[in-house]
Structure formats: C-alpha cells, structure tokens
Structure 1
Amino acid sequence: MDSITAAAFAASADAEPATPSFTAREYATVRVPARHEQLHRDTYSAFGWTVEAWDGPAASIVPRTTTSTLTLTRDRALRGRQALGELQRQAEGALRRIDALERSRSARATAVAVALGLVGAAFLAGSVFLLDDGPSFVSIGLGVNGLALWALAWPAHRLTAARRAAQVAPLLDRQYDAVYDACERAAALTR
C-alpha cells in the first residue's frame, strides 16, 4: 500500500460510522388511462408522491395498452397527511369523471353508428332473401336503403360526436378546475 492510500484508509477507520437515517415511506400502485398519464403524474406529485416506475405506452416504443401503471412513493412524515388524503380523494374522483366524460363522447356516437349499421344490415338481408323469387322493386329498394344506412353511419357518428363534445366541454372544464383546485390546496399544505 502506498502512503496516500494508507493515510486515506487510516482516516476513514478513525471516522465515526455514519448513523443510518430511516425514512418511513408509503407506496401506491395506480392504473391510469394512458392518454391522461401526464395529468395523473402532475396531480400525484402535488400530493407529495414521486413516480418510481411506470408501465404503459409511454414506457415502451410501441403502445400495447390503453392504461398505464404508476408506482408511487412518498414520505409518511408529510405534514397534513389527513387533509392531503381528503384532497387526493377529491382529485381522484374528478379524474375518474374526466375519463368517463371523455369516453361518453365516443360511446354515444359509436352506438348511433352501430345502430344504423345493424338496421342497414337487416335491410340488406331482407333484400337478399327476396332475391330468391327473382329481382323485384322491393328487393332493390331494401338493398338501396340498407346501403344508404351504411353510408350514413359515418356522418352520423361524426355529427353525434361533435354534439356530445359540445355538451361535455363545460362539464370537463369543471372537473379539470376541481383537479387543479385540489392540487393547489395540496401544494400549499406540503410547503
């Protein structure tokens, strides 16, 4: 051993051992919609949580799922944990309502388009069954109506989605405001 290494070893042996510091932590795992992953990350960070790991479309090159799993940790000695828990529940409720409102925009439009498609398919089936007796005006009329309903499904979907989006927009704004308000109040508690 050279003299520099020996001196460093002797100095480290004389030093008192560092007292281990312990921090009690709490852990949570949350599944969130992938399209709102960043909103959930920001919301949970306002409540003192740190994202330790995540599994979802943002973590991979090719999106495989529509949900992400966030693994969260935070210090248990956080001031105002009881009030933070209540604010967090309020924010999580608003986040769930945001997801439900956004899904309702496309769900209603999809239901209208599927209904038109099924009625159109019924008309086409009736047209095909009437073809057994030979082509007739009723058969042709049913076939044209069935194809017209199929053609109307896409514009009806777009129109219904646009109407529902206009209805849902103010409700979504209220829910986003509720999330932001809870986050601001939580951030004030954790300072």
Structure 2
Amino acid sequence: MREKKEYIGYEYKEVTVPREQASMYADCYENFGWEMEETVQPSENIRPVSHNVTLRMKRNRKIVNKMELTRLQRNFEACTHEIEVMEEAKTRMPTVWALVTGIIGTAFMAGSTFAVVHTPPIIWLCVLLAIPAFIGWILPYFLYRRLVEKKKEKYEPMIEEKLEEIYQICEKGHALL
C-alpha cells in the first residue's frame, strides 16, 4: 500500500536583487522560513548586461511564528533598501559635479570656437578660453574619483552598521524556526 503524503500549502515569493548580493539574500531569506526554488538569470536576448537576478522561493503557509518571521523579514527588507540607497548616494553627487564641470568646460570650448571663427579671428581669446575648456574636460575624472572616495568614507560605516543589523535580524529569525 502507498503511504499518504501530508498536504503542505505553500506561499511563493519572487525577489529581484543585485547579482553580486544574490547569495546573501538567499541565505537571509532562509532564516525567515523561505526555501529557494531557483535563481532566474535574465535572458541574454532581452538584457545582455543585467545587474539583477530573480530569486524564487516558497514557504510553508502554516509555519510556526509566521507573524514574527514576517515582521523580521520586513525589517530585513527595510535595511537592504537603506543599504541600496546609501550605495547609490556614494556616486550620485560626484556624478552631478563631474557632469557640471564637463559642461562648463564645453561652454568655454564653445566660446573658444566662436572666437576663432569670428571675422577677423580673435586668436588670443580663443587660446584664453581653450585653457579652461581643456581643464573642464580633464578635471571631471579626477573630481569624480576624489568625491566618490569622500562619500565612501562617509557611508561605509553606516552600511556596515546596517549589515550588522541584518545579521542580528537573521539570527532572531533563525532562532524562531
């Protein structure tokens, strides 16, 4: 005779996460009762250079301590969102400053071009405007790198604190399973 299997109802969840952090997310979600079903890589035809993967998970609907696990999971997701925001903030303003500097350099080059095509050409003005133009085209690279380093110094300790908070949340979730 065949043994009857007990029915288990599952709830399902899909989460799209950065490719570099997929393992961390998978490990953390397991502490809230989720079991990994698969990791979906984006199709090469659709997005050849995708930085995200989709994690598909399932969890027993009648898991013990479901309410507390769900609360801890929401805290985890809030922490990961804060980390993503801080990671983006490290490059946002440096990018803006580099772009503004490059645009100002381009404006000087436009002035230099207008000076040389003027009738009669004003060569001294062309040279005078070309100097800050080239500086405005070269400086953004170095400006960007320096500002990113400053932002990293500012945000890295906060990101480390959030990661520590995530690990504590995961420990609590694991203890409830």
Distance in 1 between residues matched to 2:41 and 2:110, nearest whole Å: 43
Deviation at 1:28, TM superposition (A): 0.5
Deviation at 1:37, TM superposition (A): 1.3
Distance in 1 between residues matched to 2:79 and 2:41, nearest whole Å: 22
TM-score of the aligned structures, taking structure 2 as reference length:
0.91
- My pick for the range that moved more, 108-117 or 149-158, is 108-117
Could you give the per-residue CA deviations for residues 42-69 of structure 1, whole angstroms, max 9, x where no partner exists? Answer: 1111111112112237x98x96311111
Q: Which residue of 2 aligns with 1:181?
A: 168
* Superposition map of 1:104-183 within 5 A: 104-133=89-118, 134-183=121-170
Deviation at 1:104, TM superposition (A): 1.2
- My pick for the range that moved more, 72-81 or 133-142, is 133-142
* 55, 65, 69: which one aligns with 1:70: 55
- Tell me if structure 2 keeps the 8 A contact 1:29–1:69: yes
Distance in 1 between residues matched to 2:115 and 2:128, nearest whole Å: 11
Give me the CA root mean square deviation.
1.8
Deviation at 1:19, TM superposition (A): 1.2
Q: Which residue of 1 aligns with 2:22?
A: 37
SS at match of 2:7: coil
Deviation at 1:123, TM superposition (A): 0.8
How many residues are treated as equivalent by the alignment?
Answer: 173
TM-score of the aligned structures, taking structure 1 as reference length:
0.85
More helix by share: 1
Q: Which residue of 1 aligns with 2:8?
A: 23
* 44, 67, 75: which one aligns with 1:82: 67
Partner letter of residue 81 of structure 1? K
Unaligned runs of 5+ in 2: none
Could you give the per-residue CA deviations for residues 95-146 of structure 1, whole angstroms, max 9, x where no partner exists? Answer: 0111111111122221111111111111111111111221422221111111
SS at match of 1:113: helix
Distance in 2 between residues matched to 1:54 and 1:108, nearest whole Å: 34
Over the matched positions of the two proteins, sequence identity in percent amounts to 25
Computing the radius of gyration from Cα coordinates, the structure with the larger value is 1
SS at match of 1:17: coil
SS at match of 2:3: coil
Partner letter of residue 46 of structure 1? N
